[in-house]
Amino acid sequence: MKQILRYVLLLFIAMSVFESCNQKQESIRPTIEKITQSVFASGTVKSGNQYEVYAKVSGIIKNILVKEGELVKKGQVIIELSNAAPSLNYENAKLLENYSSDNANQEKLSQANSEVELAKSKLDNESSLLERQKKLWASEIGTKNDLDTRELAYKNASNLYNASNLKLNDLKKQIALQSKQSKNSAAISSNLLNDFKVISEIDGRVYGISKLAGEMATPQLPIAIIGNANEFYVEMQVDEYDISKMSAGQKVYITMDSYKDKVFEAVVTKIYPLMNLKLKSFKVDATFTNKPDNLFPNISAQANIVIQVKEKAMIIPRSYLIDNEYVYLKNKEKRKVKVGLMDYEKVEILSGISVNDELVKSIQ
């Protein structure tokens, strides 16, 4: 029995050695074909001019005038906040504006004008009496005291006339100032009243409303999202190591989980120059050149940004490239090569081997 087991073991070892000696390692030759170098980036679908809507002032939401998914026009009121106090302030400002107008102060102006006219008549009368007294005095009629009395009366009448004129001018200035101030106050109150109306800044679609009627709205938290209804783009995050390869106009191939097994095209339209320190990436926008019929904001997307395309290149699988600069020939030679474009599966060889060379993955 021991001899039989020994025989079987020797036979197994012999067969293993024979198989190992006869097994041939798979080899390949370089091929001439097209290669595309691209950069991968994660992204999010955004609608054109998409923005978060904030209230300008804090207040209780009184009315929500639109629904999610509804189309809106630029300047359209979408949400109203409770504005009882600002409304009263506006009414008070309008009352003050009306009270301060020229029409409302017409009686005061008429009275001041009458005082000026009366003072002018008295001044003219005193002037005539003074001239008469001077002539009498020149003819040695009357006394010096009579002349002094007339001169004093004329001077008092002149002072009264000047004072009434000054009073009239001051009244006009005061009315004009109060009228202007009241108009400004009414305008300010009107603007503050408008702040309690949240409007759409664009023609677009309401994609989200995050508050309900009766809840508090503040300038610190968004209450809605509005964006273009028909224009969409992809906001991508490109690694800092790849940003130097980016340029406007580059073609982008987009895939989305919402549309599996479909590829859509876009082009790079904007490269943001400031790096996100937390993500160590740059934001890059790409606009769709062909897109799905139905598209929605905030859908996740995966993008391949085409950096360079070469129609005829000498290509080998990347798995045959050793340390990014060597290959193994079938004759067990390790040869240095110069590489060019790369994608996820293939690499271009610029020099070091030819299409006639046979390559293996490793030397045994």
Cβ-Cβ contacts under 8 Å for 148 (sequence gap 6 or more): none
Residue 287 lies in a domain: yes
pLDDT (0 to 100) of residue 35: 87
Which class for 190: exposed (0-12), middle (13-18), buried (19 or more C-beta within 10 A)? middle
Q: Quick one: 247 and 103 in the same domain?
A: no
Q: Quick one: 245 and 163 in the same domain?
A: no
Residues 184-218: pLDDT tens digits? Answer: 666 666 666 678 889 999 999 999 999 999 999 99
Token pair for 268: 């790079």
Q: Quick one: 76 and 202 in the same domain?
A: yes
Q: What is the pTM of this model?
A: 0.56
Phi-psi region of 280 (alpha: psi -120 to 50; beta: other; left: phi over 0): left
- Mean pLDDT, range 352-362, rounded to an integer: 90
Q: Quick one: 243 and 206 in the same domain?
A: no
- Mean pLDDT, range 239-244, rounded to an integer: 92
Phi-psi region of 330 (alpha: psi -120 to 50; beta: other; left: phi over 0): alpha
Residue 134 lies in a domain: yes
Single-letter code of the amino acid located at 197: K
Residue 22 lies in a domain: no
Residue 324 lies in a domain: no
- pLDDT class for 137, splitting at 50, 70, 90? confident
Q: Quick one: 216 and 278 in the same domain?
A: no
Q: Quick one: 206 and 286 in the same domain?
A: no
Q: Quick one: 240 and 144 in the same domain?
A: no
CATH number, domain of 281, equals 2.40.30.170
pLDDT of 20 > 60? The answer is no
pLDDT of 337 > 60? The answer is yes
* Last residue in a domain, options 290, 308, 326: 308
Residue 268 lies in a domain: yes
Q: Which domain holds residue 265?
A: 40-49+229-308
Q: Quick one: 176 and 201 in the same domain?
A: no
Question: DSSP assignment of 54-102, as one string?
Answer: --SS-EEEEEE---TT-EE-TT-EEEEE--HHHHHHHHHHHHHHHHTST
Residues 90-113: pLDDT tens digits? Answer: 566 565 656 656 566 677 778 888
pLDDT (0 to 100) of residue 94: 61
* Last residue in a domain, options 308, 323, 354: 308
Q: What is the count of structural domains for the chain?
A: 3
Q: Quick one: 215 and 295 in the same domain?
A: no
Q: Quick one: 94 and 188 in the same domain?
A: yes
Q: Quick one: 182 and 94 in the same domain?
A: yes
pLDDT (0 to 100) of residue 168: 82
pLDDT of 5 > 50? The answer is no
* Last residue in a domain, options 289, 308, 327: 308
